[in-house]
Amino acid sequence: MYLRSDERGPAMTNRLALRIAIFGGVAVVLFAVLFFRLWLLQVIDGETYLAEAKNNRTRSYRVIAPRGKILDRNGKVLVSNRTSLALQVNPRKLPLDPAERRAELSRLADLTHNSLRHLRRTMHEKLKLAPAAPVTLRRDVGHYLIYYLQENQDRFPGVEVQPVFVRAYPDGTLAAHILGNVGEISPEELKEPRFHGLQPGDEIGQDGVEDTYDHYLRGRPGLTRVQVDALGEPTPNGRLVAKPPAPGDSLKLSIDSDVQAAGEAAMAEKGLLGGFITMDVHTGEILGLGSYPTFEPALFTRPLTQKQVDETYRNPLAPLADRAIAGLYPTGSTFKLITAIAALESGNLQLSEVIEDPGVLEVGGQEFKNAGEAANGSVDLVQALEVSSDVFFYTLGLRMWDTGDLQHWAHALGIGRPTGIDLPLEDQTLLPSRHWRNQLYKEGGTDRPWSAGDNVQLATGQGDLQTNPLQMAIAYAALANGGTVVTPHVGLQIDDAAGRVLKEFAPKPRRHIQIDPEYRAAILEGLHDAAQNAGGTSVDVFGSFPIPVAGKTGTAQRTGHADQSWYGVLAPYPNPRIVTFVTMEEGGFGAEAAAPAAKKILEAYFAGRLAKEASSEGGEG
């Protein structure tokens, strides 16, 4: 071999020089070929090609890609697509004569049960967005209309029937608030960077996971290129290119359909406004999340009638609002868990400390009483949680009223701050604090500055507190898992059309806080006693539940409303896997409305285990 690694140039061997010369020669030849060909095309035959370019008559049409499916954690389809026939008007092919054009549009308006004015306005608005593109007048047109149009094609030039994809919801309202809906992109949205490459008339997710995971679900439209003659009509066999549309990837949610359905059924059964959430305490995966009243997501696949608009957007019950993540409520006694953590961790309470509960506590001349005027006598923390002694926690609130400890720990546990959930429309919650109230007072927004009474109220989840089941569930989960404040999420993974996993979502926890294991055990014990020990606040509901749980009732007073029922439960005790939170406006005591609903959700979650126990008991009997 003539090459030696330790040999250094310029002592190049003749053979290498020859090879490089040949290399150069090849390069010269190749470039000569390119130059010659370029010369041939541009200088010799240029005129011919210029004529061809001027005569180039092809039209491109986009072929819409189907959106990806949305599945629950077990692969059950929550949202899929169906094809629907859409009636479109191609403005380029309408008669040029104004009178004829008007006559045709008025015939069309009659056929579609619209007024001519309405039809013209629709067309005008759509054409402003996408000039010369076909305008969709109606989807889901009936076959009779299609046959009629086909038989009378000469009377309807420019009217076409196109198959389009429409979202389909096999389970009706199931998980409506999580799923959201799709709709045409607005001119403002078109300018956002995340929608780059989209065109007017394209559909995007408008709410829920359809919005948050739109990027994955959307798919990419294909392109059909059609050769047209001088009049713009496709020539026979003129279909040139078909870049097939790429269907969207499918989204797997952490939702468990059975848990979700049980929660929604329990809410509907009571018929009270409210929301529920069930979440894995370790990962933040949401197994069920719903709000009552709910709505039909399929509603948005067709143009809304005035009646439907009134029922959805102007309804005072606001069915579109997701009360589980966007509600703004005081939480009642469910907040006591947070007060307990704050008091213990800040040294304002010793585990064994006993506080006298005579049924009333006077703070600054104001009397704070126990619910139902009960007097519980001497209670320690575990007992106070079991019987939900208000005076015990009022006392803690009073001890911490000017230290800020309660706010510090509630804040650390995620109350009154964004949770990072992968759903749009998270509302501004409020954790009342000395700073907030004094600031408000300075600006004249309230009649008095922060006082001990405010903190006493906060200690039992009353007063100015505004939060929702989601934040409470996160705080409970943090206690249950030993201090990890999880990031709640419903998106689990993205699969491509072939079923390959493209992406898995496991958002990092928001933060970790130190909770003493002894404190954790004591608080959980108190909650367990409250749910399943004689004398506990929700023992009527959970006393006979075969799985040990730790649950806390809440009865929140809202001005202008009857008491709001709350229930938060961790199961199984003592090492909880899930947290469930339920709230129902005007539902009365926590044990009355919310706790039974929470029990139904737990039954659905533990269905397999419960059935096994039932059968084994049956076998023994």
Partner 1 sequence: MYATRARQARPEPFAVHPGIAERLGLPYMDGPLAFSAVALAIFSVFALAQTTQHDVPGSPYYFVDRQAIYAGLGIVGMYLLTRIDYSRFRELRVGIYTFLCVSISLVFVFGFAARGSRRSFELPFFSFQPSELGKLLLVLALAGFVIDGARSGSDWQRTVRYLCLGLAPAALVFLQPDLGTALVFGAITLAVMYVGGVRWTHFAAIGAAFVAITAIVLVAAPAVGTPILKGYQAERLTSFLNPSADPGDAGYQQNQAKIAIGSGEKTGRGDRATQTRLDFVPERHTDFIFAVIGERYGFTGAALVLSLYALLIWRALRIVTLSKNSYGTLVAGGIAGMLLFQVFVNVGMNLGIMPITGIPLPLMSYGGSSVLATFLAIGVLQSIHMQARLSQKGRFAW
- Dist. CA 341–CA 50, nearest whole Å: 80
365: phi then psi, degrees, rounded to nearest 5: 85, -5
- At a CB cut-off of 8 Å and minimum separation 6, what does 151 contact? none
The H-or-E segment that residue 121 falls in is helix 116-129
Q: Which is nearer to partner 1, 116 or 497 (by Cβ)? A: 497
With contact defined as beta carbons under 8 Å apart, do 431 and 411 qualify? yes
Q: 309: Cβ–Cβ under 8 A, 6 or more apart, which residues? A: none
Measured CA to CA, the distance from residue 405 to residue 143 in angstroms comes to 68
Q: How far is the CB of 88 from partner 1 (least distance, A)?
A: 21
Q: Alpha-carbon distance 213 to 252, whole Å?
A: 11
Which phi and psi (to 5°) does residue 276 adopt? -140, 155
Among residues 54 and 113, whose Cβ is nearest to partner 1? 54
| Tokens found for residue 546 | 């075969």
> For partner 1, what does the binding mask look like between residues 132 and 171, x meaning CB under 8 A?
----------------------------------------
**In which residue are the tokens 């310029």 written?**
10
Burial 495-516 (b: 16+ CB within 10 A, else e): bbeeeeeeeebebebbeebebe
Considering only residues 31, 147, 148, 313, which one is a binding residue for partner 1 as defined by CB under 8 A? 31
CB count in 10 Å sphere of residue 458: 27
- Min dist. Cβ of residue 222 to partner 1 (A): 10
CB of 194 or CB of 307, closer to partner 1: 194
Contact 119/108 with Cβ under 8 angstroms? Answer: yes
Q: Considering only the stretches 35-43, 101-109, 256-264, 593-601, report the one whose residues sit in contact with partner 1 under the rule CB under 8 A.
A: 35-43
- Toward partner 1, which CB reaches closer, 34 or 304? 34
SS3 assignment for 254-313: CCCHHHHHHHHHHHHHHCCCEEEEEEECCCCEEEEEEEECCCCHHHHHCCCCHHHHHHHH
38 or 309: CB nearest partner 1: 38
Nearest distance, CB of residue 423 and partner 1, angstroms: 22
Among 225, 369, 511, 577, binds partner 1 (CB under 8 A): 225
Q: How far is the CB of 38 from partner 1 (least distance, A)?
A: 5
Of the candidates 405, 413, 409, 393, the one whose C-alpha atom is nearest the C-alpha of residue 457 is 393
- Angle at the Cα of 582 from the Cα atoms of 490 and 570, rounded to 5 degrees: 80
Nearest approach, Cβ of residue 505 and partner 1 (Å): 14
Q: Which is nearer to partner 1, 212 or 467 (CB)?
A: 212
Min dist. Cβ of residue 305 to partner 1 (A): 32
Binding-residue total with partner 1 (CB under 8 A): 59
Q: Which of 197, 444, 608, 621 binds partner 1 (CB under 8 A)?
A: 197
Asked if residue 119 lies in contact with residue 177, where contact means CB atoms within 8 angstroms, the answer is: no
Residues 405, 298: Cα–Cα separation, whole Å:
48
Examine residue 47 and tell whether it contacts partner 1 (CB under 8 A): yes
Residue 367 is a binding residue for partner 1 (CB under 8 A)? no
Q: Which is nearer to partner 1, 7 or 356 (CB)?
A: 7
Is 5 among the residues that bind partner 1 (CB under 8 A)? yes
Regarding 12 and contact with partner 1 (CB under 8 A), the answer is yes
Cβ distance to partner 1 smaller for residue 35 or 313: 35
23 belongs to the binding site for partner 1 (CB under 8 A): yes
Give the nearest distance from C-beta 27 to partner 1 in angstroms. Answer: 5
Cα separation, 549 vs 546, in Å, equals: 9
Among 131, 193, 236, 608, binds partner 1 (CB under 8 A): 193
In the structure encoding, which two tokens stand for residue 522, read together?
């004591």
Does 8 engage in binding with partner 1 (CB under 8 A)? Answer: yes
Query: Of 1 and 99, which has the nearer Cβ to partner 1?
Result: 1
Interactions with partner 1, residue window 479-538 (CB under 8 A): 496, 502
Indicate the residue among 247 and 416 with the shorter CB distance to partner 1. 247
Helix (H, G, I), strand (E, B) or coil at 162: strand
**Contacting partner 1 within 233-292 (CB under 8 A):** 237, 240-243, 246
Q: Which stretch binds partner 1 (CB under 8 A): 160-168, 174-182, 192-200, 479-487?
A: 192-200
Work out the end-to-end distance of the chain between its first and last CA atoms, rounded to an integer number of angstroms.
90
Options 113, 191, 194, 307; binder of partner 1; rule CB under 8 A: 191
Question: For 8, phi and psi rounded to 5 degrees?
Answer: -115, 145
Residue 314 interacting with partner 1 (CB under 8 A):
no
Whose Cβ is closer to partner 1: residue 199's or residue 305's?
199
**Alpha-helical runs (H) found in 40-93:** 46-54
Stretch that binds partner 1, among 193-201, 282-290, 346-354, 573-581 (CB under 8 A): 193-201
Q: Which stretch binds partner 1 (CB under 8 A): 196-204, 277-285, 403-411, 554-562?
A: 196-204
Amino acid at 11: A
Tell me the C-alpha distance between 243 and 21, whole Å: 44
Paired tokens of 412: 């650390």
Q: How far apart are CA 605 and CA 74, in angstroms?
A: 13
User: CA 581 → CA 71, 212, 272, distances in Å?
Assistant: 23, 24, 15
Largest CA distance in the chain: 108
Q: Tokens 């989209």 belong to which residue?
A: 198
Binding flag, residue 18, partner 1 (CB under 8 A): no
Interface with partner 1 (CB under 8 A), residue from 56, 306, 514, 559:
56
- Min dist CB 413 to partner 1, Å, is 30
Stretch that binds partner 1, among 144-152, 195-203, 330-338, 610-618 (CB under 8 A): 195-203
Q: Closest by alpha carbon to 469, among 558, 567, 556? A: 567
DSSP class of 85: E
Is residue 544 close enough to count as binding partner 1 by CB under 8 A?
no
What is the x/- site pattern for partner 1, positions 199-218, by CB under 8 A?
A: x-------------------
Nearer to partner 1, 30 or 103 (CB): 30
Nearer to partner 1, 240 or 304 (CB): 240
Q: Which is nearer to partner 1, 69 or 336 (CB)?
A: 69
Q: How far is the CB of 487 from partner 1 (least distance, A)?
A: 19
Query: C-beta of 221: minimal distance to partner 1 in Å?
Result: 12
Helical packing angle, 98-111 and 116-129, nearest 10°: 110
Write out the residues near partner 1 by the rule CB under 8 A: 1-10, 12, 15-17, 19-20, 23-24, 26-27, 30-31, 33-35, 37-39, 41-43, 45-50, 52-54, 56, 58, 60, 190-191, 193, 196-199, 225, 237, 240-243, 246, 496, 502
